Amino acid sequence: MVVIAAVALALVATPAASELARRAGLLDHPGPLKVQTKPVPYLGGLAVLAAAAVGLAVGRPAWSVPLALALVLGTLDDARALPPRVRLAGEVVVGLVAGALVPTGVAQPWAALATAVVVVVLINAVNLIDGLDALAAGVSLVSAVGFAIALDGDDRTVALALAGALAGFLVYNRPPARIYLGDGGSYVLGTALAVLLVGAWRPERDLALSLGAVLFVAFPVAEVAFAVVRRARARAPLFAGDRGHLYDQLAQRGLSTGATSLVCAGVQAALVALGLLATHTEPAASVAIVIATALALLAGAGAGGFLSSTFPRSAR
């Protein structure tokens, strides 16, 4: 019922958010680092959060606070292009609020700080993969399904609601997208995946489950790692934009936007499957699966030439 309600809410909320974005002038215009040829409204994140609220209300009401803060921060970034330091400071605040409100089962302050770090990393990770129609939403949907299968109780309710909200949103975000997540949406998704991952690491969880859950977010995290390597090799600023992401290079090699998004979602699905396999093994085997998967991703990226890129002069 949570999934059905979330899908239905997303189907209604997404066109409403699109109209609101148009009236407010929150549009993503074509540019040197953009793939679209006409302005596309933002505020998809508002629709996703509104649709997922049904699960949050039933399962984890307190989680609505950091998710709402993430939406506000990202929407401000969409509207005003916040400086990197301001944006990072805002992400830290979102993370600290999440650390204070998300149950970890551990009283020590370091648990809240660890939660904040996870939130900041995943906000930026999902933001990095939000570069093609249906890409970030599709990958996050697969991740949410993984959490829904692996977790139980209120955490599962939230994961199911997130999956339903994204499924409904993708009706409008599939190529050619009629609405984008925007930074507001990618920040919401990054925060949501972060708090679910933190939930998988609570002390009462089996260690194998905790380790396997890392692979549920492996694709966006890998994109962060690959971007750092690319920009270091190109001697470009860490926050410089480029069209050298894995999905960009797949598109440059002839895949359509839809096919590229499907391939990336398929990679994440394979990673989720490996993560679920790891949850049903002994902890030592889980560690081996996670490490082997990480090394395979790195080797595959290197062999495929995905660790290099050309930075346009217009990038900032």
- 80-132: per-residue pLDDT in tens? 889 989 999 999 999 999 999 887 766 677 888 999 999 999 999 999 999 89
Percent of the chain at pLDDT > 70 equals: 91
* 76-80, 155-159, 309-313: the lowest-pLDDT one: 309-313
Residue 216: φ, ψ to 5°? -70, -20
Contact predicate 90/82, CB 8 Å: yes
List helix spans (H) across the chain: 2-24, 44-58, 64-80, 84-101, 109-128, 135-150, 153-173, 182-200, 207-213, 218-233, 246-252, 257-279, 283-303
List helix spans (H) across 25-134: 44-58, 64-80, 84-101, 109-128
* 29-43, 204-218, 279-293: the lowest-pLDDT one: 29-43
Q: How far apart are alpha carbons 164 and 170 in whole angstroms?
A: 10
C-beta atoms surrounding 267 within 10 Å: 18
Whole-prediction pTM: 0.91
For 188-203, the pLDDT digits (tens) are: 999 999 999 999 998 8
Cis peptide bond N-terminal to 83, omega within 30: no
Residue 98 has what pLDDT?
A: 94
For 120-152, the pLDDT digits (tens) are: 999 999 999 998 999 999 999 999 999 999 999
**Computed from CA positions of residues 2, 117, 199, 126, in that sequence, does the dihedral angle turn out positive or negative?**
positive
* Average pLDDT across the chain, whole number: 90
